[in-house]
Amino acid sequence: MQVCELRQYEYVLIAGPDSITFLQGQVTCDMTQLTDEQCLAGALCNLKGRVIGDFLCVRSTEGCLLQISEGNGQKIAETLAKYAVFSNTEVAIHSGPCRSFGILANECPVLHELLPAPPTLPYQTATSRSATMIKLAGTPDRFQLWGSRQRAAQRSFHATAAELRSLRRR
Residue 155 domain boundaries = 97-169
Q: According to the model, what pLDDT value does residue 148 have?
A: 74
Compute the distance between CA of residue 163 and CA of residue 165 in angstroms, rounded to an integer: 5
Q: What pLDDT shows up at residue 123?
A: 97
In a domain, 67, yes or no: yes
Evaluate whether residue 1 is within a structural domain: no
* Number of domains within the chain: 2
**Residue 68 near residue 10 (C-beta atoms within 8 A):** yes
Among 94, 126, 151, the domain-final residue is 94
Which three-class secondary structure state does DSSP give residue 40? strand
The predicted model scores a pTM of 0.85
In this prediction, residue 92 carries a pLDDT of: 97
How much of the chain is helix, strand and coil, in % rounded to 5? 25, 35, 40
Q: Are 157 and 119 in contact (CB under 8 A)?
A: no
**Block mean pLDDT (10 aa), the chain, length 170:** 89 96 96 97 95 96 95 97 94 90 78 78 90 90 82 51 56
